[in-house]
Structure 1
């Protein structure tokens, strides 16, 4: 009689159109299938139908209720509150069907994008706590973290980390953030982002004059409309300046929600510089497609973290316009320190200088990137060896 298959639950905010998150999940599932081909995988995610279609694993929605925008606000608040209560027995029952719960990468312990405490922080804590109550193993694998300003979020994150059997972070700043938040883990190690386990893009002709521009709809809590408009205006100025200097531009996004803004920036640029100007919007919707775009460019101007990852994997010079410090930290690790600005405080003149410098960078930069990638892959192999002791056979 064959031994029972290990039942692995994969938890995260997947199936919501975030291309980097889906790339991370794809990389993890590939590694899991390679090392544990007999594992029985089930995903607990925000968009189960999307995950089943893209990744080929059965999936369940991680929350009991997901607003559809059809209820009046008062009714929606009541249903939402009741659903958080129902999430407790629902999650307890679901975690009993597993042997191990894994949270694979992504910024699940980050708060820069205005995460509310009673959404992902609550659901993740609930899943981890219920797993422990059911005697199941729990692993937080190469996750990103930030100190939470909100006390409830900080408490939920801290207990999530304390209860896990395995905790690893994708950079030292994430580990320090959780220690600052009240959850120091002396056994927590640092590994590269899981997306670095994706295969490098196939070689293709590189257009040295092409700038791949990552666009992100970045909302600021106290001035959302003004922030987006300022950003769109600055990106339009950037595109027109690049086109005026003889370059071509293709926009990419890291989340499908960014596509309308990317198309608007292209339309504004064409309106100003002429319909025939060499700028176009790319609708690439997978990490593999983003890697191909990055591989064909002379420079990647990255906004989302996984734009940086795509550029590094493709061996293309990267300039960052980040909403958090993780972009700059990653660039420093691959020998590109300094080529980074805040997305909400862009100096256009400096940005153009950084793009020129990146475009003319020599073999030293590409060699440093290649060395970093080789190191990342070895470290990820070590991570999966460690994780095997948690997942089991």
Structure 2
């Protein structure tokens, strides 16, 4: 019988509940682990979408950036004048709230996600600063901070790199979701020789097996990816990607396939009507997925998954659905190689539609063998994640510290 006096207080921290299906899936995987292994743990979250997290998981949740939901002035002049005061005020308030929230826990976990990546633009005063404040507060208060299966790249931006180095090196536990992430973290000064690599947390979630098919349906995942704000080619590259994806969809529907469109974040949805213009009504279908579980069930029903968002690719691999990746970061290639599918990984900046269509044909003809191979790889990945959860139990949850009293910010 579990002892309520020994129940640990566990906080889940990060960009969670904000509409990114992959980030939310990593949160779901950690909550499932906690409920199975530590059913008496008192769990809450400081995150980007507290209402969503509370509704889905039944845990208290608090806004990570208090000014995120306030409406900015419409005029350019108004935004320019108020940007610096808003950032300064937000930093002061968020610092206090994050410190107060962190102090009331025994363990704070940053669950997965690409929190240490530069593949998407991150401003220093956003998540990098929040992570640093959380880790400093945890170290000073004796709270165990853990970065679990996170993604990382080499960070060139000096302020972001400094803040991320503070947050990771003060944490008492770190693991990374692939070797590329660990290598990038070490080069940036975020990791040490004792840190380890485990598969992405999302692979711990249950998933349906791919439909034996053929179904005549192809999954196409799209992303509204504008590269880097500092890259003068960003609009040109984005336009090129969109032109190629429109041609890909058109070729598939002309060949008699039905296309089911997927996104991985709310920001991607404006692309849907642009692609639906490429075919007759009914040939291209889009059903919004509110959860990763919904995404998995729909991906399991397609013949081949062609995805851009990282966790659309993971959904295909997890369901043992033959998958082609059009990736914006090396993480896509890394996970495809983990499943023995490296030849089907393409760079979003220069992929060739003709090559994709040739590979699609090969995968449809050899689908039975590929599905079996992916299922075998999934078994190995699940064993790797069992080792990750064992490591968490031994290194993070063993010998819990004395719980401190403290208030929760509203």
TM-score category of the 2 structures, normalised to the smaller one? over 0.9
In the alignment, the residues of structure 1 paired with residue 226 and residue 254 of structure 2 have an alpha-carbon distance, to the nearest angstrom, of: 29
The aligned counterpart of 2:377 is: 372
SS in 2 for 1:297: coil
Q: Which runs of 5+ in 1 are unaligned?
A: none
TM-score by length of 2: 0.90
TM-score by length of 1: 0.94
In the alignment, the residues of structure 2 paired with residue 187 and residue 126 of structure 1 have an alpha-carbon distance, to the nearest angstrom, of: 24
User: What displacement does 1:232 show?
Assistant: 2.3
User: What displacement does 1:196 show?
Assistant: 0.3
* Contact 1:95–1:127 (Cα < 8 Å) also in 2: yes
1:90-147 Cα offsets, whole Å, 9 max, x none, are 2222111101111111111111111112211111111111111111111111110001
In the alignment, the residues of structure 1 paired with residue 372 and residue 91 of structure 2 have an alpha-carbon distance, to the nearest angstrom, of: 50
Match of 1:293 among 298, 304, 308: 298
Match of 1:42 among 41, 44, 49: 44
1:197-236 Cα offsets, whole Å, 9 max, x none, are 1101266563442210001111132345444333222211
Match of 2:139 among 119, 122, 132: 132
Moved more, 66-75 or 121-130: 66-75
User: What displacement does 1:63 show?
Assistant: 2.0
In the alignment, the residues of structure 1 paired with residue 28 and residue 362 of structure 2 have an alpha-carbon distance, to the nearest angstrom, of: 34
In the alignment, the residues of structure 2 paired with residue 77 and residue 191 of structure 1 have an alpha-carbon distance, to the nearest angstrom, of: 40
In the alignment, the residues of structure 1 paired with residue 211 and residue 356 of structure 2 have an alpha-carbon distance, to the nearest angstrom, of: 27
The within-5 A match list for 1:90-129 is 90-129=97-136
The aligned counterpart of 2:239 is: 229
> Given the alignment of the two structures, is residue 250 of structure 1 paired with residue 233 of structure 2, yes or no?
no
* Contact 2:327–2:333 (Cα < 8 Å) also in 1: yes
SS in 1 for 2:160: helix
Cα root mean square deviation, aligned: 1.8
In the alignment, the residues of structure 2 paired with residue 47 and residue 77 of structure 1 have an alpha-carbon distance, to the nearest angstrom, of: 24
The aligned counterpart of 2:335 is: 330
Match of 1:339 among 340, 344, 354: 344
In the alignment, the residues of structure 2 paired with residue 234 and residue 242 of structure 1 have an alpha-carbon distance, to the nearest angstrom, of: 12
In the alignment, the residues of structure 2 paired with residue 161 and residue 42 of structure 1 have an alpha-carbon distance, to the nearest angstrom, of: 21
In the alignment, the residues of structure 2 paired with residue 124 and residue 4 of structure 1 have an alpha-carbon distance, to the nearest angstrom, of: 27
User: What displacement does 1:39 show?
Assistant: 0.3
> Given the alignment of the two structures, is residue 60 of structure 1 paired with residue 62 of structure 2, yes or no?
yes
In the alignment, the residues of structure 1 paired with residue 303 and residue 272 of structure 2 have an alpha-carbon distance, to the nearest angstrom, of: 20
The aligned counterpart of 1:307 is: 312
SS in 2 for 1:330: helix
The within-5 A match list for 1:190-269 is 190-201=197-208, 204=211, 206-220=213-227, 221=229, 222-266=232-276, 268-269=277-278
* Contact 2:177–2:199 (Cα < 8 Å) also in 1: yes
> Given the alignment of the two structures, is residue 79 of structure 1 paired with residue 81 of structure 2, yes or no?
no
> Given the alignment of the two structures, is residue 24 of structure 1 paired with residue 26 of structure 2, yes or no?
yes
* Contact 2:13–2:109 (Cα < 8 Å) also in 1: yes
Q: Which runs of 5+ in 2 are unaligned?
A: 401-410
Distance 1:283 1:206, change over 3 A: farther
* Contact 1:14–1:45 (Cα < 8 Å) also in 2: yes
SS in 2 for 1:301: strand
* Contact 1:64–1:84 (Cα < 8 Å) also in 2: no
In the alignment, the residues of structure 2 paired with residue 44 and residue 96 of structure 1 have an alpha-carbon distance, to the nearest angstrom, of: 13
User: What displacement does 1:363 show?
Assistant: 4.2
In the alignment, the residues of structure 2 paired with residue 207 and residue 77 of structure 1 have an alpha-carbon distance, to the nearest angstrom, of: 56
Moved more, 70-79 or 90-99: 70-79
